[in-house]
Amino acid sequence: MGAVAQSRRAPRANGGLPVRFLPSAVLALIAVGALGVLAPWWRDTVGVDGTAGWLTGAGRITGLLAGYAAPVLLLLMARIPVLERGVGADRLARWHAFGGRYLVGLVAAHVTTVIWGYALTDGRGVVGEGVQMVLHFPDMLKATAATLLMFGTGIVSARAARRRLSYEAWYYLHLATYLAVALGFAHQLSDGADLGDGPGRVLWYLLYGGTALLIGWCRLAVPYLRDRRHRLRVAEVRREAPGVVSLFLTGERLDELGAEAGQFFRLQFQAPGLRLAANPYSLSAPPHSEYLRFTVKDLGGHSAAVARLRPGTRVRAEGPYGAFTGRLQRKRKVLLFAAGVGITPLRALFETLPGEVTLVQRVRRPQDLLFQDELAAVAAARGARVHHLVGSRTQVGGLGAALSRLVPDLARHEVYLCGPEELARDAVQALRAAGVPRSRIHHESFAF
């Protein structure tokens, strides 16, 4: 397997810019856009009088921000290559989840303040005013349906509810947000006094139209074209451990995919029961010109069905995605910390990252250890080190103490971390307590 060449200088990407530049630039651009959205309201509002005026003004502001936030959140998850590689799918997903909570809050505030403000102005009760607006304002029935869909999506996206859902169920329910955004668009133009008939309306059309085009291109057209070009198919399904298999895919022109160790693909298997979902799976070996390897743990119906795939099954792949690569590396000394099946992207990085690399694999039972022979062979070939932390928390002891014992100069290391959310959170706390700067802890999460 060929290793991916890495620069010893400060990591750079996207035309030579430092890898940390793009996330900051994207957030700054979103903030500037939000200020720009409020400019028409500021320009047209000479003064605010009385409680009704303040409530109506708050409704206009929250409505503008909610209308702006909806397409922005869709763009974050549109799988735009420059964002997926430069910002990282994991970080984009966290931004999307964080922004989604604010969007639901903005919509709730918009509905409450507008109805209340109009009720005070018209001398009508809040319920009566709400019914009047829904039934008689243009496009309000569609906006009401959009609001209900938005709230429903917010409920199933809450942490407590999300933990009870499979990835597939969450994925399909989340598609309702596209319908909600589409239903709410007309109301913003017909009832939004701040957009007017001038440049504001044109820019609003461009924002929503551009978002729709990018989603259609990146999430539909590009996967279709790549499927036609690379024609991926299952070559072998190999058992690695109880409930864990490695999936080997072959195809055409695989070197043109531009994949890097640490990245992942969303795979859609053309087999009964699997055709409608594109689930994310990390490369568990460096990309090769003749095959791609993914390692899958039985965590639900979809992953269990993957273990039963037959050679020759066609696979539609979206990707490669993710910024969890050697581009992040700034220090010669690197610690790779894997919890459970989080070893999959770190197995690929273990073979390709330059410098002094130590890998620590944390599992509860010996039979859960993966790639022992492969890791030992890679370690021997490149002079790296492999450690296994096996047992319960009581048996292993404090994670910080265990890592400090295995890696004496821990604070001088760059750390790549991948594993279940709770354990990864504990690992970040332990690393920070051991003196590792937050900027040198790179985290790939399994949360969706």
In tens, the pLDDT along 271-329 reads 887 887 788 899 999 999 999 999 988 766 667 788 889 999 999 998 898 889 998 89
Q: How far apart are CA 211 and CA 177, in angstroms?
A: 14
**pLDDT the model gives residue 18:** 57
> What's the whole-model pTM score?
0.80
> What is the average pLDDT across 91-107?
90
pLDDT at 399 over 60: yes
Average pLDDT over residues 90-111: 91
- Residue-wise pLDDT for 375-396, tens only, equals 999 999 999 999 998 888 778 7
Domain 329-445 bears CATH identifier 3.40.1190.20: no
- Which residue from 5, 92, 86, 91 is spatially nearest to 442, judged by alpha carbons? 91
- pLDDT level of residue 95 (50, 70, 90 thresholds): very high
pLDDT score, position 425? 85
Q: What is the architecture of the domain spanning 231-321?
A: Beta Barrel (2.40)
Token readout for 147 is: 């609001």
* pLDDT of res. 10: 38
Q: Which residue has the higher pLDDT, 143 or 48?
A: 143
Q: Determine the average pLDDT of the residues in 238-244.
A: 87
Domain formed by 12-225, architecture: Up-down Bundle (1.20)
Task: Quick: pLDDT tens for 315-360.
Answer: 999 889 888 999 889 999 999 999 888 899 999 999 999 999 999 9
Q: Residue 24 and residue 10: Cα distance in Å, rounded?
A: 17
Stretch among 40-44, 234-238, 365-369, 426-430 having the lowest mean pLDDT: 40-44
Q: Residue ranges of the domains in the chain?
A: 12-225, 231-321, 329-445
